[in-house]
């Protein structure tokens, strides 16, 4: 008998697939776009920070991302971890949308 996956199992499988695709894009082009339901469906850009981007790479990527109007914020991998580890990611996201930089507490 075939087991039908639960909604939670299906969501986890989709999240793992999306994470794998994002990692691949970060390695190959240095950035990717993610539509994030946890942030009210906003589209965010994720820019690689490991290995560090050269200044010229960072400038090229930022120029590409500026031309995409639907992006609500650009996060580095480190900032995305800070956002996900926070109990109120929506508040941090709103701050990021107006230009804040996210940093771990000292």
Q: What is the pLDDT of residue 76?
A: 87
Distance of CA 82 to the CA centre of its chain: 11
Question: Over the stretch 3-32, which tens digit does the pLDDT of each residue have?
Answer: 898 999 998 999 899 999 999 999 898 889
Q: What is the pLDDT of residue 52?
A: 65
- Does the global pTM surpass 0.85? no
- 6 occurs within a structural domain: no
Q: What is the pLDDT of residue 57?
A: 77
- Count the domains in the chain: 1
- 38 occurs within a structural domain: yes
H helices within 3-88, ranges in order?
A: 7-29, 55-66, 77-85
- 102 occurs within a structural domain: no
- 8 occurs within a structural domain: no
User: Taking a C-beta distance cutoff of 8 angstroms, is the pair 96, 79 a contact?
Assistant: yes
Question: Over the stretch 39-75, which tens digit does the pLDDT of each residue have?
Answer: 999 999 998 886 666 777 777 777 777 777 788 888 8
Q: What is the pLDDT of residue 13?
A: 92
């Amino acid at each position: 008998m075939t087991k039908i996956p639960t909604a939670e199992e299906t969501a986890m499988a989709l999240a793992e697939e999306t994470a794998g695709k994002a990692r691949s894009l970060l390695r190959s082009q240095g950035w990717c776009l993610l539509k994030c339901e946890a942030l009210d469906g906003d589209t965010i850009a994720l820019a690689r920070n490991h290995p560090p981007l050269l200044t010229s790479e960072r400038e090229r990527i930022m120029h590409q991302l500026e031309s995409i109007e639907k992006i609500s914020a650009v996060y580095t991998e480190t900032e995305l971890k800070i956002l996900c580890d926070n109990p109120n990611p929506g508040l941090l996201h709103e701050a990021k949308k107006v230009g804040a930089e996210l940093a771990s507490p000292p």
